[in-house]
Amino acid sequence: MFIMLENQTSNNAGNIVFTVLIVLVILALSGLLVWSIIRERKRVQEEKNAQKINLGLMTRREATQHLNDFIKTYRLSNEATCFIFELSNVTELIDSFGKKNEILLRETMMQNVVNSLPKNTILAEYKPENDSYMIILRGMIPRERILSFADTLADAIEKPIAVPHSDIETSYSCFMGISFYPNQAITSNDLISKADIALYMNHKNQDKRFVTYSPQYSQVEAENVAYYNEIKNAIKNKEFALYYQPIIDHKTNELVGMESLIRWEHPTLGILPPKKFLTILENSGDILWVGSWGISTIASFYHEQRELFKNDFFFSINLSIKQLLNNNIVSEMCETLKKYSVPTTAICIEIEEYALYEKYASIKETLQEFQKKGFKVAVDQFGLDSNNIIKLEKQDFFMLKISSQEYLEEKESFIHQKMAEMLSETCVAKGTKICALKVENRGDMDYLESKGISWVQGYCISEPMDKEHAIAFVKEEKWKVAEE
């Protein structure tokens, strides 16, 4: 018995020693991992600092101090010009070639910029989070020479660069704003602020290589600049998200699709709807980013949850004029869907208004190209207008979305009733679906169904939901609960 106790005690001691050794090994490995991470971060930071030193790149604070000293020395007897340029395709380059290669590409590009600068020029980071830089030219330089330098600077930024370890060449693109001291500003902060406003105006006028500040740019534009910079940070911080609102067939009680709706999950203001920021995105050109990000987000969602969706289920995505005028939008979206193995038939392209289809021949061609590739095409906010209905006979749309009020008003108006009947007959003949929007209650759904409209979308079914709630909505068939 004593022998057994002694053996048991010995075994327990051995187990404790083994456990202690394992813990020590884990702690040692964890410490080594932390040390490796810290060392790598330090190395990367040292490389960045060395790169800045080699390029003569100042911080914004240092550049502002130099400008203050210049203004203090010369008062109003000398001149200075502030350039702010922002790289507009960094995300695309990172996605295509990786972060490390983008850093190398940027180093080459910035060296091209340095080589293009006149002597005694200040080059500084402006807003690193926005990939923007600031240049200060000092001295009385004729305006035509300044504008010529702006072209030279744009050429240096956009000069083709060889991608490391490949035979491919690529290039940066940029926006640029320019302001002048003392003609437009007499303090350093005002000079920089006005160059920033001009930069924003270049986003709005993308056919120009650069924009010089003008007094006609109102206080509203200055406020928009601050909001725009906040939006740029929101894009980098991934604060934008897609929310999904279901479309159901009231007649069959089936879920047929979901409309994707962008929301800004603001860290302090909460969830913001598109009307709070979409105009700024349109004006700045970032609406093109919204399109590529949106289709990628939808495709990823569909790919992850493929088993939830029936073969004829679709996600709809709204595209603006600027997005539809992008000549590459069809090929880009097809490439994204192919990456996630999503069929084009699972995507419905919604256009804002029917008039766009008639007004822009290129948009009409783009939508036809979408249809040839298998995409569904729908018109949002289709009004009960006899001219629209007549033109509809020559067009092929998958779906028309119309406010439920348009049909509910037919109870009060003979003309509305006849136009509603004409639209329904035309759509039945062409196989086009009609989806009623903003449906508020079961009674309205029953009335719409009696008029041949069974597809409905509105808060009576569900408000727009984030991805997690949308998954739960589909899994639990919550629209059937809403119907009961």
Give Cβ neighbours of residue 80 (< 8 Å, ≥ 6 apart). Answer: 67, 70, 71, 136, 137, 138, 139, 180, 181, 191
**Pairing verdict, β 169-170 and 161-162:** antiparallel
Amino acid of residue 447: Y
Amino acid of residue 262: I
Largest CA distance in the chain: 105
Q: What distance in Å separates the CA atoms of residue 243 and residue 266, rounded to the nearest whole number? A: 14
Q: Fill in the DSSP letter of residue 128.
A: G
Residues in the chain: 484
Domains (ranges, CATH) in the chain?
Answer: 53-234 (3.30.70.270), 239-483 (3.20.20.450)
Q: What distance in Å separates the CA atoms of residue 300 and residue 332, rounded to the nearest whole number? A: 15
The DSSP-derived string for 283-311 is HHTTHHHHHHHHHHHHHHHHHHTGGGS-T
- Answer whether 179's CB lies under 8 Å from 185's CB: yes
Burial class (CB in 10 A: 0-12, 13-18, 19+), 191: buried
Q: What distance in Å separates the CA atoms of residue 76 and residue 212, rounded to the nearest whole number? A: 20
pLDDT by 10s per residue, the chain, length 484: 444 444 445 555 556 666 767 767 677 666 666 666 666 555 545 444 444 444 578 999 999 999 999 999 988 889 999 999 999 888 888 888 888 999 999 999 999 999 999 988 999 999 888 899 999 999 999 999 999 999 999 999 999 999 988 888 999 999 999 999 999 999 999 999 999 999 988 888 888 999 999 888 866 677 778 778 888 888 888 999 999 999 999 888 899 999 999 999 999 989 999 888 888 888 777 888 899 999 999 999 999 998 888 878 999 999 988 888 888 899 999 999 999 999 999 999 998 766 666 677 788 889 999 999 999 999 887 777 677 777 777 788 999 888 877 666 655 566 667 777 787 888 888 888 988 888 877 777 887 787 778 899 988 889 999 999 999 999 988 887 555 5
The DSSP-derived string for 333-371 is HHHHHHHTT--GGGEEEEES-HHHHHH-HHHHHHHHHHH
- Answer whether 313's CB lies under 8 Å from 302's CB: no
Residue 113, H or E segment:
helix 99-116
- Answer whether 271's CB lies under 8 Å from 265's CB: yes
Question: Three-state SS for 253?
Answer: coil
Burial class (CB in 10 A: 0-12, 13-18, 19+), 106: middle
Q: How many CA atoms lie within 13 A of 216 on its CB side?
A: 3
- Answer whether 131's CB lies under 8 Å from 172's CB: no
Backbone angles phi, psi at 438, to 5 degrees: 55, 40
Sign, Cα dihedral of 74, 76, 78, 79: positive
Give Cβ neighbours of residue 214 (< 8 Å, ≥ 6 apart). Answer: 198
Q: What distance in Å separates the CA atoms of residue 237 and residue 224, rounded to the nearest whole number? A: 19
